[in-house]
Amino acid sequence: MRFTSLIVSTAFGFVWGGCVPQVTFAAPILTEPYLDVVPRTEAEMARIKSATRPTTDFSKPEPFEQNSAGKATTRARSDHDAFSQSSESLSFEQELDFKLGNGLFKKLWVSSPSSTLASDGLGPLYNARSCQRCHLKDGRGHTPEGADDSRVSMFLRLSVPTPAQTPMTEIETYLAALDGDAVTARTSPEPTYGGQLQDFAIQGHAAEAQMDLQYTERAVALSGGETASLRVPTYSMRDAGYGAFADDVQISPRVAPQMIGLGLIEAIPVADILVRADADDADGDGISGRAQVVWSQEFKQPILGRFGWKAGHGTVIEQSADAFAGDIGISSPLAQRPYGDCTETQNSCRKAVHGDGDVRVDEVDAQGLDLVAFYSRNLAVPERRDVSSPEVLRGKEMFYAAGCTSCHTPKYVTHRLASQDNTAQSFQLIWPYSDFLLHDLGFGLADGRPELRATGTEWRTPPLWGIGLTEQVSGHTQFLHDGRARSLLEAILWHGGEAQNARDTVADMPPDDRTALIQFLESL
């Protein structure tokens, strides 16, 4: 990536390791208004630079490598609750808040009107009745297996191209200043069905439609005479409840991601993420990570996108509020839509009885939303297993040699936070294995659906911590944004675009080295 050695003012307004990236656009500074940050000293910057330097010694584990989340790491468990533990450093009072948030996360919402005035407001259209229904045991969702299997932890995002004459939103105006002529195609919710397909409805209302999914198999040759088979998905929608879909509808399948380590991701300095962005591939390494930028409803300004398959949210609490509204139909102070994702065309849904009114302004109030966000921020990352194993260390070397760390950045040090509410996230050496940037992964994984700066072929690099516990927690080994990969190897083989060289290196390496690489991933 290209840098200058001069300390100059940039549009992003940051300095990292004594260097700043060359930035040619004029746009507002990206900040973290949701964090109370203590500035780093020069001595701390030197320590951080040393601690986060990529390793070249694969003969032994790195210092503190076993504790993927610093002091927020929890002890490894052998049951389904490995992702449902709180950060070890929470106080007694914070542990109580964590448990209350967990209760709200599991809470089953009911339709209005109801005698349970604190729990009504479901829908009228929805994808799940609780957060836990999608993020079962705080792990990954799954694809439907068989005609009768539930689609609860998977749905389709919907959009259409925005008509050219439509006025730009605040974030679109910002992105136009940021990217100029290269601005991503603008999209809007599907006129009738909104931003996502909701396959459930309360009594008296029709569900929007049902998602259908079919696979075909494609063989892939590997070194050593080995082969793999990739399942290629085809998506369709049937039983439309509100008329025809727009001819130019864009769909994107999404499986619920795992929940661990979110507060730590939120505490990574903006500068440490943006410094890895190289939109024009100035260094010629074939990797062109771009930062997603989103609008903060809470702070009324653009912020860095960090969460979601295309980094469509910048904070845990706004991600939570949007999920309440879109997935369950529950309004909150940050998403005051008691009808959820219902559009103006779905008139009966808009006019239905909702859970807001005289008893409470929003269906989940500010305190409840804060508790759910606190719970989500403090779900601990389990400690690594087998970090000293020679086979795992060999696999780690293969991971680096293949170039996987070009996007899956191993480690960061989080902000030093002034608030005592964030002690678990403050100044921790963490190992998420992600740069949290958007990358073009090729047409094989493309959904063709732009989202803010993300094109139809771009996805945020997902963090890898905890990935080896997926089967233990979630009961399956399905990966990628739509769960098409049935193993970690299949997930690698689906990579294209910027990751094509890394993918080909893994496919061509000696089988024993490839096996070791998978064992390294399973240790995360």
Residuewise pLDDT in 10s, the chain (524 residues) = 322 222 222 333 333 333 333 333 334 568 999 999 999 999 999 999 999 999 999 999 999 999 999 999 999 899 999 999 999 889 999 999 999 999 999 999 999 988 877 889 999 999 999 999 999 999 999 998 765 566 789 999 999 999 989 999 999 989 988 887 666 789 999 999 999 999 999 999 999 999 999 999 999 999 999 999 999 999 999 999 999 999 999 999 999 999 999 999 999 999 999 999 998 888 899 999 999 999 999 999 999 999 999 999 999 999 999 999 999 999 999 999 999 999 999 999 999 999 887 667 899 999 999 999 999 999 999 999 999 999 999 999 999 999 999 999 999 999 999 987 778 899 999 999 999 999 999 999 999 999 999 999 999 999 999 999 999 999 999 999 999 999 999 999 999 999 999 999 999 999 999 999 999 999 99
pLDDT at residue number 401: 98
Backbone angles phi, psi at 252, to 5 degrees: -140, 115
Domain of residue 200 covers 3-523
DSSP state of 215: E
Distance CA 333, CA 104 (A): 16
CA separation for the pair 376, 316 (Å, rounded)? 7
Q: What is the domain count for the chain? A: 1
Q: Tokens at residue 378, please?
A: 């403090």
Stated pTM of the model = 0.93
Dihedral angle at the C-alpha atoms of 426, 432, 436, 441, nearest 10 degrees? 180
Tokens of 252: 């994107």
Strands 416-417 vs 37-38: parallel, antiparallel or unpaired: antiparallel
Which helix (H) or strand (E) segment holds residue 47: the answer is: helix 42-51
Per-state percent for the chain, helix, strand, coil, to nearest 5: 30, 20, 55
In angstroms, the CA 328 to CA 201 distance is 10
* Residue pair 517/395 in contact by the 8 Å Cβ criterion: yes
> How far is residue 220 from each of residues 391, 479, 516, measured CA to CA in Å?
25, 18, 20
Looking up tokens 């075909």 gives: 216
Residue of 17, 18, 27, 66 whose CA lies nearest to 431: 66
Where is 211: in which H helix or E strand? Answer: strand 210-221
Scanning 267-414, the segments in alpha helix (DSSP H) are 270-274, 316-323, 347-351, 366-377, 390-401
Own/partner long-range contacts of 331-335 (Cβ < 8 Å, ≥24 apart): 331/121, 331/355, 331/356, 331/362, 331/363, 331/364, 332/362, 332/363, 332/364, 332/365, 332/366, 332/368, 332/369, 333/361, 333/362, 333/365, 333/366, 333/369, 334/297, 334/298, 334/369, 335/297
Q: What are the residues whose beta carbons fall under 8 Å from the beta carbon of 235, sequence distance 6 or more?
A: 156, 211, 212, 213, 251, 253
Tell me if 78 sits within 8 A of 472, measured CB to CB.
yes
Backbone angles phi, psi at 155, to 5 degrees: -150, 180
Would you state the pLDDT for residue 9? 28
The answer to whether 154 and 127 are in contact (CB under 8 A) is no
- Asked if 212 and 235 touch (Cβ cutoff 8 Å), the reply is yes
Task: Determine the pLDDT at residue 8.
Answer: 23
Euclidean distance between CA atoms 251 and 197, whole angstroms: 9
Q: Which of 450, 458, 455 is nearest to 248 (CA)?
A: 450
d(CA 325, CA 196) in angstroms, rounded, equals 11
Quote the tokens at residue 336: 């005051």
- How many C-alpha atoms does 519 have within 13 Å on its Cβ side? 18
DSSP 74-97: E---SSTTTTSPBPTT--HHHHHH
**Residue found by looking up tokens 């390294």 in the block:** 520
The SS3 of residue 156 is strand
